[in-house]
Structure 1
Amino acid sequence: MFKSLASESKLLKISVLVALFFAILGVVWGKLVSSQLILFDGLYSLVSVMLSLLSLLVAQYIKKNDTKRFPYGKEMLEPVVIIIKYAVILILCIVTVITAIESLLSGGRETSVGQALIFAVVNTIGCVGVYFLLNKNKDRSGFIQAEANQWKMDTLISGAVLLGFFTAVIISFTSYQFLIPYVDPLMVLIVAGYFIKVPIVEITRAFREVLEMSPDQVIETNFKKVVNSIETRYQINESILRIAKVGNKLFIEIDFILNPQSKIVTIADQDKVREEIIQQTKGLVYKKWLTVSFTNDKRWAQKDLA
């Protein structure tokens, strides 16, 4: 566990440092060549730096043991931070779209396309490298997955920058040079407009965790398969399964309603069932908070007692 946490912190630090480098490079270069698209890329990276630092601080805070104040753990902080991260990105995308529309309506923007193309090549290569590093380790935590998503967006933004300015360079050798001022704001509009949906999707997913709603179908199906198998082998007629995913932790509660024919008799039998559940769900790479109860009266499994 501690090795995993160390790896998480190391990956988040790499993300912060590289994002900071490209943020400064993008803002400075965007101003020098008068490119709104490069400036947006730099501002996105700058926002990523601040949000990555927030993720790093919260990830370190979560791993500190404090069961007295947080008896169920601090994993709820993870989706809350993710909501904040993507809310800021959403605002950035909306403001950028509005700015791009204003530029298009005012006749475009003159840009030094040759120098902008150089930046696009360097930036795209760097973003691809960091994205693949994080994406390879995204299952370790929600923070790393969020970082990978951010770098995926940044990679595609950088790719769009590269495509846009490569197109502008080609146009500069044709009789359509008058279109060059429109390339930069048009690409900004396409890129920022497209990526508005990414933070919306991620905010919705994080809100589901904050509200402790059911997790992805794959997780629920996996546990249902295990529970059904136990019911068959131990002659249990009915059970109630509840699962909620919060950050990198699964809260699983299973109530088995026994009958006279059930093969669960002793405490040892109950512990054996618990061990089977854990062993058969090892493929789900989450921390698990497992509560398994056994009762002869279904009323005690309803959980809504007066």
Structure 2
Amino acid sequence: MATHSELIQTERNAIKYSVWGNLVMGLLGLGFAAASHSYAVLLDSVYSLVSFTASLFSLKVTEMIMRPANKDYPFGYAIYEPMFNLGKGLVIFTVCLLALYSSIEALFHGGREIAAGIAFFYAVSTAVVCLVIARILYHYAKRCESPIVSVDAKNWILDGILSAVIGGALLVVYLLEESRFKAWLPYADPVAVILLVMLFLPIPYRIIRDNWAQVLGRNTDPEIRGLSEEAVRECFHGKPVQETEIRALRAGRFIYLQVFIVVARDEAWPRKVRDEDEYRETLRRRLGEKFRYLIIDVVFTTDEKWINQVPEVES
């Protein structure tokens, strides 16, 4: 199994791959958008440049979240990962809404004249490149279990689909340029943008929804709790345990797990702190096979009040 430093290096390599890819695609898109006068191509290039800027920030975030806890950040820096992904989702969502507004406005003002042949060549080439890069990034994301790289891969798929659909629409426009439908062709570009925005708005919406829940401290992953309950049952099978309480929280790639073990007051188990540490280690190893970035805390107590603590306010 790869070490954490090796995984982080793999993640950073993947992000650098995405950084340069987005920059190249964004600059090429701007050039082709200027030549073809297509807002659909412009949307594609702006999307790439937004992803380029976000990828630069993600290099800093991946370094920051692995720092140890300190007096200023007693629980570490893990919360920055969902915060970053949340911001990225919001930016993408905003770009989509601006493109939607611009295209609806164009529909009411005669549409847009475009050079369909030039735009078609760009769109098809971009679609192929984007989908290839997405496949590579998904491979990296699986290897290093990185939510940041995973979001990047989704963005490249989004960009690839965007370019492919634009290419299809532009091909139709090119083929119909000398037909009796020529008067309607200026509306093809804004209609294509509107359809594209409606098609992939759910993707940034899901990114925003999931990472906002993590920022709020709400667990949205039932798999974590299910596997944790199973591991606790097996680990403490046959022991005089009255009750268990499991609390799980995801913050980016990190899983925070708090397990309360309630033991009867007259029981002699566990006898030593060393015994408690052995069970903590057993549980950590078991769950660590599934969750690489696991932080676990096991609390042994004979009083259930420690499970649901409330402030004692004097009346």
| TM-score of the two chains, using structure 2 as the length reference | 0.91
2: CA distance between counterparts of 1:305 and 1:290? 24
Deviates more, 1:125-134 or 1:144-153: 144-153
Q: Which residue of structure 2 lines up, in the alignment, with residue 19 of structure 1?
A: 22
Distance 1:132 1:105 in 2: 39
Which residue identity is paired with 2:250? Answer: K
The answer to whether the 8 Å contact 2:253/2:293 transfers is yes
The 5-angstrom pairing of residues 111-260 of structure 1 reads 111-139=114-142, 140-172=145-177, 174-259=179-264, 260=266
**3-state SS, counterpart of residue 233 of structure 1:** coil
CA offsets 1:228-248 (integer angstroms, 9 cap, x no match): 233433242211111111121
**What is the CA–CA distance in structure 2 between the aligned matches of 1:142 and 1:233, rounded to whole Å?**
38
- C-alpha contact 2:288 2:294 (8 A) present in aligned 1: no
2:89 match: 86
Counterpart-to-counterpart distance in 1, 2:232 and 2:16: 40
Residue 231 of structure 1 contacts residue 237 of structure 1 at CA under 8 Å; is this kept in 2? no
Counterpart amino acid of 1:303?
Answer: Q
Structure 1 contact 231–238 (Cα < 8 Å) conserved: no
1:168 corresponds to which letter in structure 2?
V
The reply on whether 1:7 has 2:10 as its aligned counterpart is yes
Moved more, 6-15 or 187-196: 187-196
1:296 aligned to which of 279, 288, 302: 302
101-110 vs 14-23, which moves further? 101-110
| Structure 2 residue 274 is matched with structure 1 residue 271 | no
What is residue 46 of structure 2 aligned with on the other side? 43
Q: Residues 285 and 254 from structure 1, CA distance in 2 versus in 1: closer, same or farther, beyond 3 angstroms?
A: closer
Structure 1 counterpart of 2:287, which letter? T
Change (3 A) 1:242 1:145: same
Q: Deviations over 1:67-124 (max 9, x none)?
A: 3432321111111111211111111111110100111122221111111111012101
- Superposition CA RMSD, Å: 1.9
Residue 106 (structure 2) pairs with residue 100 (structure 1): no
Please tell me the residue identity of whatever aligns with 2:57.
Answer: L
Q: 2:53 is aligned with what amino acid?
A: M
CA distances 1:188-224 after superposition (whole Å, capped 9, x unpaired): 0011223222222211211111111114011111111
Separation (CA, whole Å) in 2 of partners of 1:203 and 1:171? 40
Structure 1 outlier segments of 4+, above 6 Å: none
Q: Secondary structure at the match of 2:298?
A: strand
Q: After alignment, is 187-196 or 10-19 more displaced?
A: 187-196
C-alpha separation between the residues in 2 aligned to 1:189 and 1:87? 19
Separation of aligned partners in 1, 2:59 and 2:68: 16
For structure 1, which segment, 41-50 or 106-115, has the greater mean C-alpha deviation from structure 2 after superposition?
106-115
1:238 aligns to what SS in structure 2? strand
| Structure 2 unaligned regions, length at least 5 | none
Bigger mean CA deviation after superposition, 278-287 or 234-243? 278-287
User: What SS class does the counterpart of residue 137 from structure 2 fall into?
Assistant: helix
| Mean CA deviation greater in 65-74 or 159-168 | 65-74
Alignment partners' CA distance in 2, 1:262 and 1:161: 71
- Return the alpha-carbon distance in structure 2 between the equivalents of residues 156 and 54 of structure 1: 25
The TM-score normalised by the length of structure 1 is 0.93
Offset at 1:304?
Answer: 2.5
Say how many residue pairs are matched: 306
- Measured in 1, the distance between the counterparts of 2:269 and 2:69 equals 39
Q: What SS does the aligned partner of 2:65 have?
A: helix
Counterpart secondary structure, 1:254: strand
Deviation, structure 1 residue 12: 0.7
The letter for the 1-side match of 2:118 is Q
Tell me how far apart the structure 1 counterparts of residues 75 and 152 of structure 2 sit (CA, whole Å): 25
Q: Secondary structure at the match of 1:281?
A: helix
Q: Residue type matched to 1:13 in 2?
A: K
Cα deviation, residue 177, structure 1:
2.8
Looking at structure 1, the residues matched to 232 and 103 of structure 2 have their Cα atoms a distance apart, in angstroms, of 54
